[in-house]
């Protein structure tokens, strides 16, 4: 992490802040004038800049202007006097993160610098994420079509809608589209619209002004501003609330937006790439997605195949993920035996490439020996394959006297086997008995209690089958990712992973 720069002609102020930040294990670099700090910007940048507003020579506002022109992502905190309100207003208009009024409380100053530091590190993560574009691997014809589409779009700024199942690699394709576009040198900013609460999503997209709502203690740049000149990737666009769809449509239509609580129109020079695992046409018909926004996004549609549609890519993907996982852990990469590789190539992988990557991480950590056999794979994966339903065999039967086909014979049961109907009836009977006892004892909210127990049992067993992976469990249960996350929190279920 880069140091925090302190710019003040008052040596005592510099000393107090240096000591307070040192106690927090935060590195600092101090300057006695704005000119010295401007000169230092030629060779490096701070993580956060704290500057007095009135100094001999260049002022703190001039330093703020210089920093924001060259490095807009650096938070700048301006130190000013109580009576200097005009300067404080000028500081915010110039893009200051916040201001410190003299005399200030040292603990509050450190807390403010901490908040600015968090914002700065968040910006740094966005920039680094854009630079780290993992490989997209695939030899299957369906993936070759995707590669050709990326090539054709390499010199275009057109809006793209990427569709495909969860875990199929939609963000990787979005990053590749950015990397091979005229905007490659500018930021790539990704936002999962389904992962942000509705009340915060508007601020996350468009930013907010100081005081726009409770807790908005400083102006914040939204994702549209962070992606200026580059690409904004909106994942799970189908889950965006309708009122925000209207705001997004306006930005796509005229290229302007307002921060939450703001009155100044801002110009957005951003290429938008959206992605969804849902059928947007169905959501339009159901009134859950604006038709005009759908047509704005659906300029070029790029469909990603599921992993089961490109099973010939499973061996090269598995070898790649095993190598990557071993490199991260600093161990030798494990190898799948031919039998184990063939076994994996026949699996359905409802979680797609993400599920395969998680499995390879598990193998690297848990599988014994360097060569991995089928017996070394997760037990539930093996059992699932062994007990998978086989295609029904159609047996011709003699026609009845009336010419109609004779009824099919019922399958014979082995000794001790229990028919599926008996199992179903058994648990339903138990449920009826439990409900009857609760109603007889006049226990309140019987439906809610039993419903929560039923949901908890289903989610727990699904998480067990997916090794705690929420998204995979949601796919298995046929519910949304937001729904399973909310249910896990409401029901207090442990053992789930953020995937």
Which residue in this structure is represented by tokens 């003299």? 102
Helix (H) or strand (E) holding 281: helix 280-285
- Residue 174 CB neighbour total at 10 angstroms: 24
Helix axes 352-366, 314-329, angle to 10 degrees: 50
CB neighbour list of residue 99: distance below 8 Å, 6 or more residues apart: 77, 78, 79, 80, 88, 91, 92
pLDDT confidence of residue 125: 53
- Residue 421 CB neighbour total at 10 angstroms: 8
Structure tokens at 412: 């014979």
* Residues 236-279: tens digit of each pLDDT: 999 999 989 999 999 999 999 999 988 888 999 999 999 999 99
CB neighbour list of residue 102: distance below 8 Å, 6 or more residues apart: 79, 80, 81, 82
pLDDT confidence of residue 399: 38
| HSE value, Cβ hemisphere, 13 Å, CA-based, for 90 | 15
Coarse DSSP helix, strand, coil percentages of the chain, rounded to the nearest 5 percent: 50, 15, 40
pLDDT confidence of residue 130: 43
* Residues 297-313: tens digit of each pLDDT: 999 999 999 999 999 99
pLDDT confidence of residue 116: 86
Distance CA 319, CA 325 (A): 10
Distance CA 146, CA 140 (A): 10
Structure tokens at 128: 């680094």
Phi-psi region of 392 (alpha: psi -120 to 50; beta: other; left: phi over 0): beta
Which residue in this structure is represented by tokens 């159609």? 394
Run means of pLDDT, 10 residues per run, the chain, 499 residues:
90 92 91 93 90 89 86 85 60 75 87 85 55 68 90 89 94 92 91 85 89 78 91 94 92 91 90 94 93 94 94 93 90 91 91 94 91 89 60 39 38 40 57 80 80 86 84 82 81 70
pLDDT confidence of residue 92: 67
CA distances from 357 to 80, 169, 318 (A): 52, 11, 7
Torsion, CA 394, CA 400, CA 404, CA 406, rounded to 10 = -30
């Amino acid at each position: 992490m880069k140091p925090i720069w302190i710019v003040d002609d008052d040596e005592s102020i510099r000393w107090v802040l240096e000591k307070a930040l040192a106690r927090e294990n935060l590195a600092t670099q101090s300057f006695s004038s704005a000119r010295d700090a401007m000169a230092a910007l030629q060779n490096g940048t701070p993580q956060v800049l704290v500057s007095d507003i009135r100094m001999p020579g260049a002022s703190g506002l001039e330093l703020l202007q210089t920093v924001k022109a060259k490095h807009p992502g650096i938070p700048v905190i301006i130190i000013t006097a109580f009576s200097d309100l005009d300067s404080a207003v000028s500081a915010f208009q110039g893009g200051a993160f916040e201001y410190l009024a003299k005399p200030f409380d040292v603990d509050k100053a450190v807390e403010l610098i901490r908040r600015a530091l968090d914002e700065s590190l968040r910006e740094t993560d966005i920039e680094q994420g854009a630079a780290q574009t993992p490989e997209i691997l695939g030899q299957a014809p369906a993936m070759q079509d995707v590669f050709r589409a990326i090539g054709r779009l390499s010199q275009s700024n057109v809006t793209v809608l990427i569709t495909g199942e969860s875990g199929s690699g939609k963000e990787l394709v979005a990053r590749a589209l950015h990397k091979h576009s005229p905007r490659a040198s500018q930021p790539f900013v990704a936002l999962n619209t389904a992962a942000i609460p509705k009340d915060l999503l508007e601020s996350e997209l468009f930013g907010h002004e100081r005081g726009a709502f409770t807790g908005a203690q400083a102006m914040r740049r939204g994702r549209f501003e962070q992606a200026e000149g580059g690409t904004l990737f909106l994942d799970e666009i189908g889950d965006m609330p309708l009122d925000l769809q209207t705001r997004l449509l306006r930005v796509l239509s005229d290229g302007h937006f307002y921060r939450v609580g703001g009155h100044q129109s801002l110009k957005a020079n951003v290429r938008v790439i959206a992605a969804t695992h849902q059928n947007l046409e169905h959501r339009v018909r159901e009134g859950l997605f604006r038709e005009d926004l759908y047509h704005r996004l659906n300029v070029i549609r790029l469909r990603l195949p599921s992993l089961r549609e490109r099973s010939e890519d499973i061996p090269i993907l598995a070898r790649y993920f095993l190598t990557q996982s071993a490199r991260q852990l600093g161990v030798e990469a494990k190898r799948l035996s031919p039998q184990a590789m063939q076994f994996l190539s026949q699996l359905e992988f409802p979680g797609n490439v993400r599920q395969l990557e998680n499995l390879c991480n598990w193998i690297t950590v848990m599988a014994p020996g360097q060569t991995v056999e089928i017996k070394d794979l997760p037990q539930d994966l093996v059992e699932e394959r062994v007990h998978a339903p086989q295609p029904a065999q159609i047996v011709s039967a003699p026609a009845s006297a009336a010419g109609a086909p004779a009824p099919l014979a019922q399958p014979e049961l082995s000794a001790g086997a229990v028919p599926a109907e008996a199992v179903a009836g058994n648990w339903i009977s138990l449920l009826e008995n439990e409900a009857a006892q609760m109603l007889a004892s006049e226990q309140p909210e019987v439906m809610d209690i039993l419903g929560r127990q039923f949901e908890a049992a289903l989610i727990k067993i699904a998480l067990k089958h997916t090794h705690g992976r929420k998204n995979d469990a949601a796919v298995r249960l046929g519910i949304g990712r937001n729904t399973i996350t909310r249910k896990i929190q409401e029901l207090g279920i442990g053992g789930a992973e953020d995937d």
